[in-house]
Structure 1
């Protein structure tokens, strides 16, 4: 996803510069591709790179000319930036909050609130970068404002770039060097370093690289290099015509040929940036066959004026449409509706918000007027979103009591359950679902000396613990901490947990084959367990319980059990819970707890005989626990005993796991002879 700067967004106006209408057309083309790819193709177009290149080209040229005249005026420069960026961006954020409160599912409230705040202060890319590195945050549904990540990077660029150019100008003057040459060399170094970092991080952690500001700096630098060198490039008209059309064609097909969302930025992002550079290099060809004749036309010019608002509006309109219609895709007619509404809102924003503020005397009559305006414009966003946060926090407040007859949860499936549970309010409330992770809050955590990614957390006990248990594995094991915690409190057990998302306890990486980080983590965890010599190890017995009876017990699981058997350490291995191709909790919220489409037949998920019963080489130290009967009767329902079973498509809520603790206590005591 990407965001164009507003029309004429350069912070340093220069009446002497040559007006280039084809840039407005290029901006319009890039914005149109972004919208079409998002709405109809559910793909990313690469437009972000075009906008970054254009920003680098325009701003570097303007700053260079200002520095050449002897001074870059920072206060009016940033004041104009505020007048151009804030009005439309903050208007859309207020609208998103106003529409989101009644329309968005409550389990998406807190994530949306956090991202609106981050977007208002131009750090949304870092918010998303943090989430991309957080395994659990990857289950968030697409945010209504996640497209503000590119605007955040541009905002950061508008602050830092003038400082960089001013520093280079100062050094060039002191060293008696050419400003153009010194700045060109500086930007070339910035380009090379940032591109190298971008290639490295994209290979190592592409989701993080996608939102990292430093992986995108080279695109601005490339635009700056083009601005400094374009006057020295002289091509014959036929060559410029060819460059223009090659650039337009390259931009049009980039998102089709490349899976931009999964391979960018890195070296692959050279495709759209070079393509956009070719269009800029072509310039005004004066040829009736040139692409610039179309790009410089009045319709493209007007669409270029709307491009900022169009980008801001199209994504929330798309997401709200999908939520309201309970769909995953819009279809041809729905997409036309989304685009039409987005264009209309962009036009209204341009004529009623952007232009009036830009033409106003704000920041002209008083030195700091634009800055006061910026602070005042933030107030509605902070107020509306803060109020939303307070309301959401109150709604999310709940507690679970194992003796609550209205919310027995898993105990409703117990043979000792006295009678069917009468209908009651379902817990946890939907707004609390995203944070309903298992854990032990007062545990003390330390990093392993064997692997810095391995964190070992140990619960507190009263005096000498009666038993010491290590829970090791992925996020499904983490959810069992909610069931283990009451046992620890009741029996004075000490729980040490070692957890890594998508990395079950094995000798290999079974969830993500080839993930060396997971394999190394597991090896370190096994060594730490052998050093601790606990009374028992709690882990998974199987994984990948899906429709089609795909459940398996990988050989790597058995190999780890055998390692522990040689050390005389008992293992309690629990059968995994189901995974679905939808979110049962979201289904309940939109269609009701009794909707048949929210449940799946047990025999589609669980085979009569668990795979670990057929696994070769299972050692005698392993005790298997199967709680599938608590998750599923004939049907695997989303609500059991008035408690939501699942928080997303595969994680059991900590609330439901808490209600499973009596059954876990009985099963572990029997299996281990405690």
Structure 2
């Protein structure tokens, strides 16, 4: 991804030779990433090429030094490597911070702040991995720094690679073993272990695995292996020419042929990685390498790093300001043109002048300090923005706040203008600046379930002493969002509340979100077995799903089958009717059009039928009681973004924790009766 010297030994040669086709390969990978992001909305596999090339150069360089017996100076190596990343990354982060603070809506600030900060410390991949488990990464608006996940993995590899080479080389010399053989064995072991983990992790939790650095290590390791064996590859000219064209064709068609975003990385990542390997092994044949060695391809390779970094924030800002879900043909050209212009300016005005700086002359202290200082402007900008945002964020909505009654505003006669029901002068809460932080946090007392390690059970609400009741919430994030509504009753009655939550996997005997997701089915089966083996006093699950315009709400057969399984185990069930989902984010509509704007309110009759779907089903067991909170989430006529001065929705389908908390009166009134308590 970052610019690296394209110098290595070509197949069939006896001395080092320049490999211009590799620079062109980097440019091709960057173009594919940009094209797929801007126009197609899918993953291209180009990032995996960057990872392979990083391993090819970094591991190859450090391994050859170790094999020759040269000293691998960690501090010097790290300084030189990060000098390639930090200046450009720091510039893009600083500019993105200022642009996001000035141009983007306040409702996006929290997410952008968190991810920009994570990116500045090169841990964005782990931030997104953890968020994806809690649903957030897929349901919130994309941040201007989301693409830094790959650069974060690359930076983590930069830290790890010299350590691995140094440790293996020292071990080999201590044992009297051949250093080259030891490095080959170590890299092969890393590649095999990482690839196996990638396949397993992707099949069980693809959202987390996508950003997990461990699922990508094999790509770096394979690049290192290739660097150490490529000089021994012997293929005929025709075979290498064919291999080169096959590699280019495979790389270009990868994202179009495979829906790599849905099951990536896993074994599907072999496609782009092996395509790149084919191009590197092919070397110079006068075939595909001639295309990749053209002046245009070489220049794209030189600007590939800033192009990758600039295109994403330009795309995000364009989509937000234009109010579009996709760039389209003309808008995409604007995004690409601006991105290329910024990449060219960055390359010539920043990267090339800095390459003339001699880090060796600066010394062991000043050189690392200069490298680290490249991130200072971004960190300062983030600190200022964070302080400004915090100062205007306001306090969380407290239960019983007369100025912010939320759902309590619907308990009596509804005022004609429900937006200001409560104190007419009160601002809306949670503030748009901290809206994306207003989520029900359930990760407390979490531990794997002993008899079913695929499950993680948490205890977000515990009782003092022996609990009077034990209640378990099971399902996806729509169960998680009920916690604030349940907490006051649980505290008052001394209940212990546990959670079994998996993103995009409602409680069912099937996989409702993705029928092909076998891991969700296995997770639900484990949940049923665990609940039957150690029955709680009650289980709370979803009663329906997919409440959208057009009266699409349904209660799948898998839901009922799961309830029947719990009925056979003697476990009482409370099934909660789902809340509406939208094709937009209601809070952003309110932000754009103002509070009380009619265009931000969807007629209730278009979302919710008078009779819920579960009321029309046969076979519902007697152990199930239904909790319908629709009258507390929608008015008699509409489903608005704000009720009682409280924002109802966090994104396009999840309740804010503040609004969920105002549902507690309704939950406290109805839930015990449903269970006969």
Q: Same fold (TM over 0.5)?
A: yes
Distance 1:557 1:282, change over 3 A: closer
2:531 is aligned, of 519, 525, 546, to: 525
Tell me the distance in 1 between the aligned counterparts of 2:202 and 2:163: 28
Give the alignment of 1:16-55 within 5 angstroms.
Answer: 17-55=16-54
Residues 364-379 of structure 1 aligned to structure 2 (within 5 Å): 364-379=361-376
**Distance across 2 between alignment mates of 1:263 and 1:669:** 42
Equivalent residue for 2:660, pick from 657, 662, 671: 657
Q: Give the distance between the partners of 1:146 and 1:591, measured in 2 at CA.
A: 27
- SS at structure 2 position matched to 1:552: coil
Which residue number in structure 1 is paired with residue 56 of structure 2? 57
Structure number with greater Rg is: 1
Q: In 2, distance between residues paired with 1:332 and 1:277?
A: 32
Q: Deviations over 1:13-60 (max 9, x none)?
A: xxx842222221121111111111111111221111222222222233
The residue matched to 2:97 in structure 1 has which SS? helix
Q: Is the 1:478–1:499 Cα contact (8 Å) retained in structure 2? A: no
Q: Say if 1:210 and 1:669 are closer, same or farther in 2 by CA, change over 3 A.
A: closer
- 1:291 counterpart residue number: 288
- What is the CA deviation profile of residues 607-640 of structure 1, one whole-angstrom value per residue up to 9, with x for unaligned ones? 2222233232445565544332232222211122
Please report the RMSD computed on the Cα atoms of aligned residues, expressed in angstroms: 3.2
Counterpart contact for 1:413–1:630, Cα < 8 Å: yes
1:554–1:182 distance in 2 versus 1, CA, 3 Å: closer
- How far apart are the structure 2 equivalents of 1:8 and 1:417? 69
1:600 to 599, 602, 624: 602
Measured at CA, do residues 395 and 9 of structure 1 come closer, stay the same or move farther in structure 2, by a change above 3 Å?
farther
What is the CA–CA distance in structure 2 between the aligned matches of 1:50 and 1:561, rounded to whole Å? 47
User: Does the CA contact (< 8 Å) of 1:507 and 1:559 recur in 2?
Assistant: yes
User: What corresponds to 1:224 in structure 2?
Assistant: 224
Distance 1:411 1:80, change over 3 A: same
1:479-505 deviation per Cα after TM superposition (whole angstroms, max 9, x unaligned): 33323333455x545352434244555
Query: Hey, what does 2:578 align to over in structure 1?
Result: 576
Distance 1:98 1:637, change over 3 A: same
Q: Do the aligned partners of residues 68 and 623 (structure 1) sit closer, same or farther apart at CA in structure 2, a change above 3 Å counting?
A: closer
- The alpha-carbon deviation at position 458 of structure 1 amounts to 7.0
The question of whether the paired residues in 2 share the 8 Å contact of 1:509 and 1:516 is answered with no
Q: Hey, what's the Cα distance between the residues in 2 that align with 1:574 and 1:312?
A: 44
Matched, 1:500 2:501: yes
**Residues 510 and 558, structure 2, Cα contact 8 Å, conserved in 1:** yes
User: How much has 1:375 moved relative to structure 2?
Assistant: 2.6
Q: Which 10-residue stretch deviates more, 505-514 or 328-337?
A: 505-514
SS of 1:66's partner is helix
State the distance in 2 between where 1:577 and 1:32 align. Answer: 41
Instruction: Verify: 1:642 aligned to 2:641, yes or no.
Output: no
Asked if the contact 2:553–2:608 (Cα under 8 Å) also holds between the matched residues in 1, the reply is yes
8 Å CA contact 2:117, 2:382 repeated in 1: yes
Q: 1:471, 1:477 within 8 Å by CA — same for their partners in 2?
A: no
2:428 matched residue in structure 1:
426
Distance 1:445 1:228 in 2: 44
> Partner residue of 2:103?
103
Partner in structure 2 of residue 412 of structure 1: 409
Moved more, 586-595 or 35-44: 586-595
Secondary structure at 2:18 match in 1: coil
1:481 corresponding residue in structure 2: 483
Structure 1 residue 223: Cα displacement: 2.1
State the alpha-carbon separation in 2 of the partners of residues 108 and 353 from structure 1. 30
- The answer to whether the 8 Å contact 2:63/2:165 transfers is yes
Tell me how far 1:315 sits from its aligned partner.
0.9
Q: Which residue pairs with 2:189 in the alignment?
A: 189
Please name the residue that 1:79 is paired with.
Answer: 79
- Measure the CA separation in 1 of the matches of 2:440 and 2:157: 40
* Distance (whole Å) between structure 1 residues aligned to residue 442 and residue 206 of structure 2: 31
**What residue number does 1:270 align with?**
270
Cα separation, partners in 2 of 1:397 and 1:297, compared to 1, 3 Å: same
Determine which of 300, 303, 314 is the counterpart of 1:303.
300
Q: Against the structure 1 CA distance between its residues 305 and 163, is the aligned structure 2 distance closer, same or farther, given a 3 Å change threshold?
A: same
Q: Give, in whole Å, the separation in 1 of the partners of 2:611 and 2:39.
A: 45
What is the alpha-carbon distance in structure 2 between the residues aligned to residue 218 and residue 448 of structure 1?
30
Q: Secondary structure of 2:281's match? A: helix
Tell me by how many angstroms 1:345 deviates: 0.9
- The answer on whether the counterparts of 1:440 and 1:485 sit within 8 Å (CA) in structure 2 is no
SS class of match (2:5): coil
How high is the TM-score relative to the length of structure 2?
0.87
Q: Give the CA deviation at 1:448.
A: 5.4
Which stretch has the larger CA shift, 25-34 or 561-570? 561-570
For residues 47-83 of structure 1, what are the alpha-carbon distances to aligned partners after superposition, in whole Å with 9 as ceiling and x for unaligned? 1122222222223332244234421342332222132
- Which ranges of structure 2 fall in alignment gaps of 5 or more residues? 9-14
> What's the CA shift for 1:184?
3.0
Q: Which residue number corresponds to residue 161 of structure 1?
A: 161
Distance 2:574 2:67 in 1: 73
Counterpart-to-counterpart distance in 1, 2:460 and 2:267? 44
SS in 1 for 2:404: coil
Question: How far, CA to CA, are the matches of 1:310 and 1:494 in structure 2?
Answer: 55
Alpha-carbon distance between aligned partners in 1 of 2:174 and 2:462, rounded to the nearest angstrom? 63
Q: Secondary structure at the match of 1:498?
A: strand
Question: Where do 1:332-481 residues align within 5 Å?
Answer: 332-401=329-398, 403-416=400-413, 421=418, 422=420, 423=424, 424-438=426-440, 450-451=451-452, 453-455=455-457, 457=459, 459=461, 468=469, 470=471, 472-474=473-475, 475-481=477-483
Q: 1:614 to 1:379 in 2, by over 3 A?
A: same
Equivalents in 2 of 1:448, 1:673: separation in Å? 29
Corresponding residue of 1:516: 522
Number of aligned residues? 657
Distance in 1 of aligned mates of 2:445 and 2:59: 51
Q: Distance in 2 between matches of 1:487 and 1:643?
A: 21
| Structure 1 residue matching 2:495: 3-state secondary structure | strand
- 1:401 is displaced (CA, Å) by 4.7
SS of 2:17's partner is coil
Q: CA deviation at 1:600?
A: 2.0
1:40 touches 1:332 (CA, 8 Å); kept in 2? yes
CA displacement, residues 559-610 of structure 1 (integer Å, 9 cap, x when unaligned): 6666777898765544332222322222222333344442222222222222
Aligned to 2:88: 88
Distance 1:269 1:671, change over 3 A: closer
